[in-house]
Structure 1
Amino acid sequence: MAQKPPTERGAGDAAVQKGPRDRSDPGHPAGTADTGPGAADSGPGAAGPGPGPGTSAAAGFSRRRLLGTAGATGLVLGAAGAGTGYAVGEAGGSGEPGAEGRPLSTLGTDMVMFHGKHQPGITTPMQAHGHLLAFDLAPGAGRKEAAALLRRWSGTAARLMAGEPAATAGGRDTDVARDAGPSLLTVTFGFGHSFFARTGLERSRPDALDPLPGFSADRLDKGRSNGDLWVQIGAQDALVAFHALRALQKEAAGAARVRWQMNGFNRSPGATARPMTTRNLMGQIDGTNNPKPSEKDFARRVFVPEDGAPAWMAGGSYAVVRRIRMLLDDWEQLSGGEQERVIGRRKSDGAPLSGGTETTDPRLEKTGPDGELLVPLDAHARITRPDQNGGAAMLRRPFSFHDGIDADGEPDAGLLFICWQADPLRGFVPVQRKLDRGDALSKFLRHEASGLFAVPGGAAKGEYVGQQLLEG
């Protein structure tokens, strides 16, 4: 199986690096294996595209010894148009440290740079585990306290993403992620509409952060919506993600308190025999039409331009976050053919009902022997097509969620929808309005929480996220 370069860089200038492992562990010969991006969305949400070439890491991980991350495991990057997953090649892992000839996975060595033009977690490959949190500033806290918190958070995020201990205010790491590598950990920070009034920065609040309009599918819980500050955490390892969550929560003490928290997951790397676009909890392939960094207008659609307004948002993006409940009991009562007509794609491989493969453009005017359109007028795939929405597009990068069974005995499960765009009024809003008017999928969805956040560009070394806003 062909080897790929050990480092990669994406459109967000956040390098995905193959970190060196601790060589002090005897019996584990050195070696590397390569990983690549996952993807999601053509349904209610989607995944981010993968990275391109970059530079390798130089520092070892003193706290998290990478036990058994040796040998070529055959984990390779798969690039298949709109989105891919991870694939495991010939060599398997025993899961037991020191098993001769059976090296453990090297997923733990993947590392993303915290500092860069854009924040990590936007174009970074989809991760298997995620946490979304919103914080409100504590009573009496203002601009000064917010700046100190973002400085602490940025420092902690940079250390954790490099596989280093969390030097929290208490002075002691929790050791939750001890022995693990960075595991593609990313931490992303954003500001909500209310943040600017709390900090006396109303004049710096961008127009694009105006509240989203209401939609007919909304059943929003205000207590789980919006917030002064937003944090997105993603990692390939659940303990690494939880470790970052706890570290950031502890750093916020006294300055901000959690407003809401949501936990999500995606398909684990190596779960499929070949690279594949992931599926959502409805069983649909989910990620086919996501914009890709290779497209010439990708940056224009996703990131605020350098000469954009306000200046502190240059290189940043706007994140729309929606907790979308999937009414799975109702959905699963449909036959496979009925489900396909709701989506407009084959469930088996994601190809449009008009024929072809997953990446084939739907032939929206094609009819069957009965004269009926093969892709129905209200099919989700038709309504969400950018060419059916004046070119409106967004980078969708969600997590699935399952929070148990509700009082009616139905699964509380669905999609933590996250989409990125340079302007939500030109990205999310027009598409959602059209879905509101006639998407066949809408009757199986319920939007239960919502938030819109301004996510500034990345921080340079020695700086913190949002510094230009808070100190400008």
Structure 2
Amino acid sequence: MSKKKDVPGGSGAARGAARLDDSGHDGRAVSRRRLIGGVGAAGAAGLVLGAAGGVGGYAAAQDDEATALTTVGSTQAVFHGKHQPGITTPLQARGHLVAFDLAAGAGRKEAAALMRRWSAAAERLMAGEPAEGGRGHDTGVALDAGPSSLTVTFGFGRTFFARTGLTGRRPAALDPLPAFSSDHLDSRRSDGDLWVQIGADDALVAFHALRALQKEAGSTARVRWQMNGFNRTPGATARPMTARNLMGQVDGTNNPKPTESDFDERIFVPSGGSAESSWMAGGSYAVVRRIRMLLDDWEELTVTRQEQIIGRRKADGAPLSGGSETTAMDLDKRGPDGKPLIAANAHARISSPEKNGGAAMLRRPFSYHDGISEDGTPDAGLLFICWQADPFKGFIPVQRKLDRGDALSPFIRHEASGLFAVPGGAAAGEYVGQRLLEA
């Protein structure tokens, strides 16, 4: 076993780090502030599925002290657990999303060996240890850094099951997403056999994990696409706050919260399912969408017009019906002119659970900026990721509603898409996906 590196505030990554379990709770007696300091999430204006299903930034304690930057590296997430890390983990400052396709000739045996290698590497990396393993020495990219809340999450795409001879165990929830009229999808940046989500509060730690997992793939799988994202860094604000997206909107207010009685029912697959999908118990389905924001057009609007499109105040994320950021929207409230304060086509109204039969999902995105396009406009927007127990009861009904009349639609473009089955967490001694691949 490799020797653990020292991290700020502790004598070693495992001993000195604040540990987050798969529910975002601290495994030690660490202040809540350290655990959720960077929580800002998708937001009050949430893209693709909108303003009403916020993400990671649930219930940041407004009265806690700010996170000192020197503590960022010391927080450690837990690899083993009922659920995989990176789902309810508070938003991280840096992320990489990568899809792989199995190489020609690689099947179930090779996939199992890859998942075993990946799981072992992820466990080491999340503990702040070097990535040395079966594919060569550690690159040294993350030397001197602590775990920095690193999480690694693995999922399987629809095509994975045919390539591994497991079509009979492919769950119905992994059926293809329907086409939406607003889609402008690039097939080269969509779907994939395998999906990996990497998040950390330090960019070098995140890149280190990315390189380690790409190397561990060896000849078994090749990268199909990669997307790189970011969020606000923990400690960058005077107190914990919901993050903003690149449109400047507070984004993540109304995310489902783990404290809600039906949270697990909405987000995670229950045990006792059908024989073909029993391996998904404790898992979740991730919808991944690259949503470009047409920022030049958006920024030409007045703040008042932007607020009308979203249905929330830009300054603090409060609904236009009044109150503060966390005040429930009053969709029936009208102004002096008799018109609803939150317009019929406002993003927040259309995407709200109240208008979608209670449909909700846990949104946990990253922003992205990939430079300037040929037409001179920013290639920037949202790497939208949402989690749910069944996408046909979460993402799909809400997106269908948005597709039919969201006021935000002229200012965004859906350019890539994927749906992945993310199995439950690995128990000690297991690797992710073992219950599927070795059943």
TM-score clears 0.5: yes
1:47 aligns with 2:47: no
Shift of 1:7: 5.2
Q: Is the 8 A contact 1:321 1:416 kept in 2?
A: yes
Cα 1:465–1:219 change in 2 (3 A) is same
Cα 1:319–1:32 change in 2 (3 A) is closer
Shift of 1:387: 1.1
Shift of 1:87: 5.5
Q: Which has the larger radius of gyration?
A: 1
Structure 2 residue aligned with 1:282: 247
Q: TM-score, normalised by structure 2?
A: 0.90
Structure 1 residue aligned with 2:10: none
Shift of 1:79: 2.2
- Which amino acid in 2 is paired with 1:79? A
Aligned partners of 2:422, 2:198: CA distance in 1, in Å? 14
Structure 1 residue aligned with 2:91: 126
The SS at the match of 2:34 is coil
Structure 1 residue aligned with 2:11: none
> What's the CA shift string for 1:372-405, capped at 9, x where partnerless?
2111000011011101100000000000000000
- Which amino acid in 2 is paired with 1:169? G
Structure 1 residue aligned with 2:61: 79
1:200 aligns with 2:165: yes
> What's the CA shift string for 1:285-310, capped at 9, x where partnerless?
00011000000000000000011231
Shift of 1:168: 3.4
Q: Is the 8 A contact 2:425 2:432 kept in 1?
A: yes
Aligned partners of 2:320, 2:184: CA distance in 1, in Å? 32
Aligned partners of 1:356, 1:14: CA distance in 2, in Å? 28
Percent identical residues: 69
1:218 aligns with 2:191: no
Alignment of 1:172-191 (within 5 A): 172-191=137-156
Shift of 1:88: 2.5
Shift of 1:19: 11
> What's the CA shift string for 1:307-366, capped at 9, x where partnerless?
123110000000000000000011111100000000001000111111111111111111
Q: Is the 8 A contact 2:57 2:252 kept in 1?
A: no
Unaligned runs of 5+ in 1: 1-5, 21-30, 51-76, 93-103
Q: Is the 8 A contact 2:369 2:381 kept in 1?
A: yes
Using CA pairs under 8 Å that are at least 6 residues apart, name the structure with larger relative contact order, 1 or 2.
Answer: 2
Aligned partners of 2:383, 2:218: CA distance in 1, in Å? 26
RMSD (Å) for aligned C-alpha atoms: 2.1
Aligned partners of 1:283, 1:49: CA distance in 2, in Å? 16
Alignment of 1:331-346 (within 5 A): 331-346=298-313
Structure 1 residue aligned with 2:318: 351
Structure 1 residue aligned with 2:13: none
Aligned partners of 1:216, 1:171: CA distance in 2, in Å? 47
Q: Is the 8 A contact 1:15 1:112 kept in 2?
A: no
Cα 1:13–1:291 change in 2 (3 A) is closer
- Which amino acid in 2 is paired with 1:453? F
394, 418, 434: which one aligns with 1:467: 434
- Which amino acid in 1 is paired with 2:387? W
Q: Is the 8 A contact 2:57 2:253 kept in 1?
A: no
Structure 2 residue aligned with 1:100: none
Aligned partners of 1:33, 1:451: CA distance in 2, in Å? 34
Aligned partners of 2:321, 2:89: CA distance in 1, in Å? 32
Q: Is the 8 A contact 1:319 1:419 kept in 2?
A: yes
Structure 2 residue aligned with 1:36: 36
Structure 2 residue aligned with 1:88: 66
Cα 1:378–1:33 change in 2 (3 A) is closer
- Which amino acid in 1 is paired with 2:66? V
Structure 1 residue aligned with 2:8: none
Aligned partners of 2:402, 2:112: CA distance in 1, in Å? 39
111, 118, 121: which one aligns with 1:153: 118
Q: Is the 8 A contact 1:168 1:247 kept in 2?
A: no
Larger relative helix fraction: 2
Cα 1:14–1:467 change in 2 (3 A) is farther
> What's the CA shift string for 1:390-424, capped at 9, x where partnerless?
00000000000000000000000000000000000
Aligned partners of 2:191, 2:111: CA distance in 1, in Å? 17
Unaligned runs of 5+ in 2: 1-16, 49-53
Shift of 1:16: 4.4
- Which amino acid in 2 is paired with 1:386? P
Q: Is the 8 A contact 1:14 1:118 kept in 2?
A: no
Alignment of 1:63-462 (within 5 A): 78-79=60-61, 88=66, 105-309=70-274, 310-462=277-429
Cα 1:153–1:15 change in 2 (3 A) is farther
The SS at the match of 1:133 is strand
Aligned partners of 1:395, 1:170: CA distance in 2, in Å? 35
Aligned partners of 2:29, 2:264: CA distance in 1, in Å? 28
Aligned partners of 2:359, 2:114: CA distance in 1, in Å? 35
Cα 1:14–1:126 change in 2 (3 A) is closer
Aligned partners of 2:147, 2:24: CA distance in 1, in Å? 14
Aligned partners of 1:298, 1:15: CA distance in 2, in Å? 15
Cα 1:18–1:244 change in 2 (3 A) is farther
